[in-house]
Each structure stands twice: as C-alpha cells, then as structure tokens.
Structure 1
Amino acid sequence: MNCPKCSTPLENTYRCPNCQCEDPIMKRIIYASNQHYNEGLSKAKVRDLSGAVTSLQMSLKYNKRNTKARNLLGLVYFQMGETVEALSEWVISVHFQGKNNVAKNYIKKVQENQGQLQVINSTIQNYNLALQYLDEGNSDLAIIELKKVVNLNPNYIRAYQLLGLLYIQRKQYSAAKKILSRALKLDRNNLTTVRYMNELVGYSRQKRKNRDIERHKASYVQIKDPNPIVIEKSANNYTDFNTSTLSFVNILIGIIIGAAVVGLLLVPSIQKTKTAEYNKAIVEYSGEISDRNKQIALLQNQIDELTNENNKLANDADTSGNAADTSHNEILLIQAVKSYLDNDFVSAGTTLSEVDRNILSDQDAQTVYDFLLAKTKDTVIGQLYDEAYQYYGSKDYMNAVTMFKKVLNLDSDSVESWYYMGRSYQYLTDFEQARNCYRTIVDNYGDSEYASDAQQYLTQIENRKTESE
C-alpha cells in the first residue's frame, strides 16, 4: 500500500516515513497480523504446533512481510519434521528482509550440516517409497519404510500419523497407541492425531463392551430339556420304578466296572512299556551327548591353536610394520637433511612435516629432527597451512586432513589446523576423529576464538551419538 497523502510505499508499517501520516487501514492490518503472531507464539510454546501453524499462516495472510511470523512458522515446520517447508519460509523471509534477518543463520546452519541434509534426503525418499508401497497394496513394506523415517527424523509427525493409521488398519491397537502418543508429545493438539486416538479409544470401548456382554451371557446360560421328568406324589408309599431308568443305571454300572478292569490290567503294562522306552532314549541321548562333547573339545583345541597362531602372526606383522615405519621415517629425515644442505628450505620443511618424531630410532635422529624443525618451521608452516585451507575451501576434505596433519606435525599448537581438520572429519562423517579435534581445542585452547564453535560442534556430535544409541 501507499501513503494516502504523499503516495510513499508503506512496507510493514502504517506510519509514512516521509510525511508521518498514519494509514488507519494499514494500522488495523498490521495489528491483526501481530495479534495472530502472538497467538501462534503462545501455541508454539506449549507445543501446539498445528495450532501455531494455523495462527501464523493467518498472520501472514494479513501481512506477508511480517518477518517474525514467517521465521517462527519456519521453526515450527522444522520442529514438525517438515524441513523443506521450513527452508521455503526462511528463503521468502530473506527475500522480503535481506538485512538483520535471523533466517539467514537458520538457512546457513542447515546447509552447512551435510549430515543433516543427508538425513533429510533419506527421510523424504523413504516416506515417498512408503506411499508407493501403499499404492501397490503392500502395507508390510510401507511399515518398514515408515519405521526408518521416524528413526531418521523423530520429529516427522506425518510419518507417525501414517504409521499409526496402518497399525489401526491391521488391528494392532497397542502399537498404534504407542506411535500416536509419540506424535501427540510433539504436537499435542494435532487434529489428525487426536482423531486417530479417538478411534483407538472407540475400538477399546467396543472390545470391552463385547467382552462384558459375553461374560454376562455366560453367567445366565440355561439348559432347556424338551422332555422334562415330572415326579408325581402317589397316594401310598409304594414307588413304581421305570424300566428304562433301571436299564440306564445297569449300563452305567457296567461302564464303571469295565473302566476299573482296564485300569487294573492295562495301565501298569502301558507304564512299564513307557518306562523302558524312556530309559532306552536316555541311553541313546547320553551316547550322542558324549560324542558331541568330544567333538566340541576337539574343535576347541583347534580354535585355541589357530588363535595362538593368529596372535603370533599379528605380533610379527606389528613388529614388521613398526620397523617399516621407522625405516620410512629415517629415509624421510635423510631427504630433509639433503634438501637443507642444498639450501632448499621449503622442500626440507615439507619433507620434515611427514616425519613422526616419536618413532625415530635413536636420540641422534631426534636431535637432527629438532634442528631441522627450528630452521624450517617458520618458512614452511604458512605455505602448508595455505595449501590445506585451499583443499578445505574446495571441499576436498581428504587432502585437507592430510595437509592439516602435516601442519600439526610442525606446530602442534596451531588451533586453526585443529579446528579445520575437525570440520573436515565431520564433513567426511568420521565423527570420532572430529570429536577428538574439537576436544583438543576445548581442553587445551579454551581461550581461543575457535573454542565456542568447537564446543558447539562437539555437542552436536555427542547428541547424535546419544540418539543413535
């Protein structure tokens, strides 16, 4: 909108910067936008993320240049696992306000974290693959892919909802309740999640109701006899027994006597036969167990012999490797001395950076190393560092690590080399080596300008390790 008096464009303000005139319509629009932004902020603080999205979107409908609302909407999307939506909002925010915009930092942090970008990529691919499996009617593979998604991105609410819905469809109500409960912890008032949870409650109530009905029916089962026996009282004490009743009693007595005969004659014979078979089986199993024990003992002896032989070979290999390393170190030291005598200090220092002083064979060699280091260190270290940083800047992190190691061989107190070598290891996803580099900076160089960044990246690596466990 433009100022009604001087036609100056009004951008995210209702007071003209030129004539100080207030536009009442623009004022109402900005107030409404800020009101919805405050509502979205309040909802986000209590983890009502879907409600916060609705309020913030309404705020942007009133004022698309409301940078705070757009940045907060990006953060809410990021918390919901919608990283692409979050980046879109932050890019639009930077477009409207290029200076002093915190969205630039959000975008930079996401882009610099290569591991997180790979996780985002894998999350999207696995979620789309799960949707494809559902289109093909293969819900088992879809569940497997969705489990991968929630493991990669524990904040991806849509994956929780779809996984819970599939569990409900398969009548795995306890698993569905567990998954949907995790989604509610992320977004407590999400309408879709709440609706699915209400469905689960309905299923549970119906199941409990059916169980109560069956139990109630079982307690009132009545047997209806189509031919009831009616006993009438006679005028005298004489009772006339029915012939059919006497026959039934005789048959019953005969069955009882026959069962007794069978029990007395056949049962002992059957028990004796079973006992003999049981004893025979015990003897056979004992023989088999004895043979297996002999085989196990023989194999264990072979394993022990092979283990001893392997340890011996490993010790020989270590000894040979150490000897080879020592010999190679001495060759490099001789080359450095030759270059120094030829007044080629650069080549001497470069060669010396590849020598490991700790494994030199004797004190004389270490003395020569210290002498050459003192003479060539100042000449070479800057050149090696510049070359290492060029590799780092061109994202050739393998060569960058190699060159930074050479710098640290010459100057172990080069904090910059420790820091950029740690960053290179982190980009190579060698988190253990990266953590060692950052830990060295934090423990030994806590007052340097790199200490705070090293602590931040160290915390990221340890949080990642905790989540994977």
Structure 2
Amino acid sequence: MRCFKCGSLLTANNTCPKCNEDVRIYKKTCQASDKYYNLALEKAKVRDLTGAIETLKIALMINKYNVNARNLLGLVYCEMGEVVEALTQWVISKNFAIDDNVASDYIKRIQSNQNRFEMVTGTIKKFNQALKYAKEDNTDLAIIQLKKITLSNPSLLKAQLLLALLYLKNDDDQRAQKCINYVLKVDKNNTVALRYDTEIKRKQALKKEDVSKSFLPKRKKNNEENKPLNGNDVIIPKSTYKEPSNGGITIINILAGVVIGAALIWFLVMPARNKGLTSDYNKTLSDYSEQLSSANIEVTSLQTQVDDLTAQKEALESQLSGVSGTDGSNALLVSLISSANAYIDGDTTAAAEYIMDIDVSSLPSDEAKALYNTIASATLSNAASSFYQSGRSAYQSKEYETAAQYFVKAYKCDSTNVNYVYYAALSYAALNDTENAKTYYQIIIDDFSTSNSTYAKEASEYVSSH
C-alpha cells in the first residue's frame, strides 16, 4: 500500500515514513474497499454479475484508486456485452496505475481485432434504435432489430432482456423463456430476468388451472323423471279410431293425397323456392363484390406498408453507413481511446489533436462523454497555445501553408481566442486562398466584432473587397 500524498510504500505504522502524514483513516478506507472487492470477486466467480457490479461500485465509491476493483468491473461489463463501459473503466485504471497494470493488456486485446470491436460497439447504436421502436410501440421492427443484435453480439444482456419483454407482450412465452434462460446462464441473479421468469411461471400456472377446470365433470341436474304430475300436465287417452278394412278406399285416399301434395308443391313451394334461389344469388353476388372491394383495399394497404418498410430500410442503411463509416460513432470511440492513451503517455498535444474534431454530443454513452470532458479540460488549452506558437514560427518563416494548419488546429482547440482565427485568415490570404480566408474573417465578424474592433474592421474590409 502506498501513501496517498507522496506515493511511498507504507509500513505497519500509522504514519508515512517519508512525509509523516497520518494514514490511519486512509488504511481503514483501503481495507474496507478491498473487502468489498473480495466479496464482488466471489460473486463474479459464481456468475452473480449483477451483485458483483453493485458491490464493486461500493468499493470504488470508498476508494476510487482501487485498480483491482476497477479492472474487475471492466471484466464484468465486458462479460455482459457492455464493451464501451469496460473500456472506460480500464482507461481510467491505466491512468491511475501506468506500470504493471493488466488493464493495458485488456485494451490491446480489444483493439487488436478492429472488425470485432466495431461490430460490438455498433450493436449499441442498434440497441438504442430498437429501444426507440419499442417506446413508439413498433414491436415488430424492434424485435427484428433485436434479433440482429443478439445474433451478432449475444452477450449483450440488455438486448436479450428487451427482446424477452417484447415476446412477453406478444404472449410468445416460449421464445421469451429462451432469452431469459440465456441471461440467467450468464448472470444467474439478474433481477429483471428473474422477474420475467416469475411472470412466465405465473401465466403457465393460470393456464394449467383453467385447463384442469375445463375437464371437471359437470353437475347433473335433478332427475325430472320422478317428479309427480301437476295440474299443467296433459294425459293423452288411448285412441279408439280404427283404419277401415277396405283396401280400395285406402288406395284412392293415397292417390288423392299425392295429387293434392303435388299441387301444393307446384303452386306454393316452387315459387317460394325460386324466389329464395334468386335472393341467394343476389346475396352471393353482393358478397363477391364486397370481397373484391376489400381485396383492393388490402392490396392498397399492403403497398403502403411496403413503401413504409422500404423507407425504413433505406433509413436504417443510412444509419448503418453512418455507424460503420469514418464519421460514425465507432470512429469517434477509436479517436477518444487513442486520445486517452496519448494522454496517459504524457503527450497532451497528441491527445488534444485526437479529440479536437470530436463533437461531444455525438458520443454514444455518458461514460464516453465524461472521458472526453476529462481529457479536453486537461489538454485543449495548452495544446492551443502550442499550436499557436508553432504557427507563428512558420508564419514568420513565410511557410504560410504550415502556419495555416497550426492556426486552424489552435482555433479548434480553443475557439475563444481571436488571434488564432485572425492569423489563420492572414495565412490563407498570403496563400491567395480567398475562400478559406473569407471563412475565417467571417468568423471574426460574427463572433469577435464586439471584443476586438480592429480585427473586425480589417475582416469586414477584406470580405467586402473579395
């Protein structure tokens, strides 16, 4: 253990042997942080990643210089698919302890496979888009996007959990259970996954209960055959009618009945039947017309859906090209990590040069923005002064192209100094590059006309005359 003030090795005494600082409380703090680190290590070994993260955060809250806890937190994040958060922890750890730090090996392993790194970090952009679809109730698009994410980066647990939630919303418990089982295999005490698993088991129990009730024998009604007669019952007496024994009369009656029946059918039944057939025909024709109209409407609706999906596909392809191209968030992260490495190596000018073109609002996570702000506040101002001095030397030597480059870099690092813009404009004017000269003179007119009237007047004269 080293002294927090002078960095020398501490002994068993409660004071530093070199600076005589009282380190009693500091030792207790480090011991408490190490206890939480050991507890988190035990949780991580038994796949309780969620519990390990919470415990490691407590350890770092007690002692932010606990490098072992920070490195382990990065490993846990990496296991859960959170590569950017893992890199952030390792870069901070490397900044605290440059020599003999395993975080350097972790960073090199990730950066060595650039395609894999871009693919993994690109899933963060896709996950944010899927989350947006889910919030807008576009469940189908969200599921399609999340399926792609889980195929390319299955260890991203938050994507697995969101996909399981959408499956639960669609009552697809089997697929939801598959996602939940994967999460619990990686992180066995994941609170969200356990809650989803409990919900699925509750729904299955309700279904089994409903099915079991449907097969229960129904209660029989009271036997009504043994009910006594009452006044409303009718008793039919035995008939005393007998058929006549003469067979000829019987034949005549049968023939007469047949003739009467045929006449009734011809005059009464057939017109009604023909009318019914006509009505059925008209109804069938009307139904076919309605079906045809409905089919036309459905074709129109499907065509509209095809157009919408085509537009969404083109938008996604545009987003994909933005992510994978030189202007994408992956390129920003690579530049940010390169800047952090340069800053750790003590080259503040190179660190500033890596990040001077980065728009902090374009970074994909809060951790990356925080890392950018830390490096920017420590490097940009000094780098701007260094670039300006180099530009002045080149300008005095009439190396105007080199001078312009230095002055532009100085302005990108510190946009509040009018001298950087003014000499950039002078250098481009000396190169007869009127377009760039007017651009930087216009910046003086727009941003510095009130603070420096002399430069503003000269800029106005140049812009108006060229």
TM-score tier by shorter-chain length is 0.3 to 0.5
TM-score normalised to structure 1 length: 0.46
TM-score normalised to structure 2 length: 0.46
1 or 2 for the larger relative contact order (CA 8 Å, sep ≥6)?
A: 2
